[in-house]
Amino acid sequence: MKKASCPECGGEISIPEDVVIGEIVSCPDCGQEYEVYELGEGGPKVRRAEVAAEDWGE
């Protein structure tokens, strides 16, 4: 399991080994959702995921 630090609260976010760019992960401490946007040597980078909007759906 890869790890990333939660930019919001500093919690440790577990990221699956087979993660793909765009995958959504969440911080187990504060619950904030993040999107993995880069898979570099320094480990996966995450940014805050978009929150559900009114036009979201299927």
Partner 1 sequence: MVGAVMLYDRLRWEEKELMKAAGSRGLELKPVDAKPLYISPSHELARSMGPLALQRCISHYRGLYLSAVLEACGVRVVNPFKATHLCGDKLLTSLALYRAGIPTPRFAVAFTAEAALKAMEGLGMPAVLKPLVGSHGRLVSMVDDLSLAKALLEHEEALGDGLHRIHYVQEYVDKPSRDLRVVVVGGRVVAAIYRYAPSGEWRTNVAMGGRAEPCRLSVEAEDLALRACEALSVEVAGVDLMEGGRGLVVNEVNPTVEFKGASQATGVDVAGAIVEYLMEAAKR
Q: Which long-range contacts (CB under 8 A, 24 or more apart) does 23-30 make?
A: 24/49, 30/6
**39 contributes a contact to partner 1 by CB under 8 A:** no
DSSP state, residue 48: E
Q: Map residue 57 onto helix, strand or coil.
A: coil
Q: Map residue 47 onto helix, strand or coil.
A: strand
Between 11 and 33, name the residue whose CB sits nearer to partner 1.
Answer: 33
Binding range to partner 1, per CB under 8 A, among 4-12, 38-46, 47-55: 47-55
Q: Which listed residue (12, 21, 28, 38) binds partner 1 by CB under 8 A? A: 21
Site residues, partner 1 (CB under 8 A)? 20-24, 35, 49-50, 53-58
